[in-house]
Structure 1
Amino acid sequence: MKESNLIKICLLAVFLGVILMFISTKMIGSEEVKIEDISEDSNYVKITGKIIQVSESKSGTTFLKLKDGTGSINAVIFKDSIKSLEKVKEGTVIEVTGKIEKYKGEMEILVNSIN
């Protein structure tokens, strides 16, 4: 087999692998959890909660405190990561999806999407 054909086959395999990984992560989605069930082992989650506090830093990062019937958690929305923050108002119930991280000893969600 010619070296150029082998390179083409390898590139095609890599490309198909990346596409399959993307599709599988979209199909699996994020696990919807209650705030009390979030742990350091949690990765990407979906949370539905009421916004009880909203603040914004000088750099444009938005900070929320979300509460459901089981607890509360801080949520961080980095500038330009969400197209519209129209739904982000105190008292509004929203669904957020994002990555769980520990910051200063507390769990928080780095928001990727709001529904």
Structure 2
Amino acid sequence: MALFFTYKFPLSKGLAGSLRDNSTVKLSLLCSLTGIAVLYAGAVQMRPGLTPIAKLDEDYVGLKVKVSGQVIDLSEHPDGHLFLKLKDDSGGVISVPIFSRVRSELGENIALLDNVQVPGQVKLYKG
């Protein structure tokens, strides 16, 4: 034999009546689902998908993207900065600076012909 306890919360007539109103329940459910969908869409937008390097142009300046490609050139600055050139399947080539502070946080060394995936913000270098 199992014991159980139920408790009915005292509701005012106004609240109890509105909870029984089917249109209020439907509207609340619709608003909740819409809010969840908007949050999900925002989260997906915040995590950039893989962008073909050949597609990057001035329209992408300031945007966060993720590129993937093979290291076709690499040079090291005396201050510890690493400068890569990546090429992907789209045929595009992009320069990627990895400054010494970020480089020290990487767990691995990057070598010529390695395949790497780099998230970052597109900036225009005027030099």
Give the TM interval when normalised to the shorter protein: 0.5 to 0.7
- The aligned counterpart of 1:52 is 72
Aligned amino acid, residue 79 of structure 2: S
Picking from 69, 84, 106, the partner of 1:64 is 84
1:98 aligns with 2:120: yes
Structure 1 stretches of at least 4 aligned residues deviating more than 2 Å after TM superposition: 24-28
Q: How does 1:32-47 map to 2 (within 5 A)?
A: 32-42=50-60, 43-47=63-67
Q: Which of 1 and 2 has greater Rg?
A: 2
Q: Deviations over 1:18-54 (max 9, x none)?
A: xxxxxx6687212321011112222111011000111
Give % identity: 32
CA distance 1:68–1:91, shift in 2 (3 Å):
same
In the alignment of these two chains, the number of paired residues is 82
Q: TM-score, normalised by structure 1?
A: 0.62
Aligned amino acid, residue 56 of structure 1: E
- Structure 1: 5+ residue stretches without partners: 1-23, 106-115
RMSD of aligned alpha carbons? 2.1
CA distance 1:39–1:77, shift in 2 (3 Å):
same
User: Relative to total residues, which structure has the larger strand share, 1 or 2?
Assistant: 1
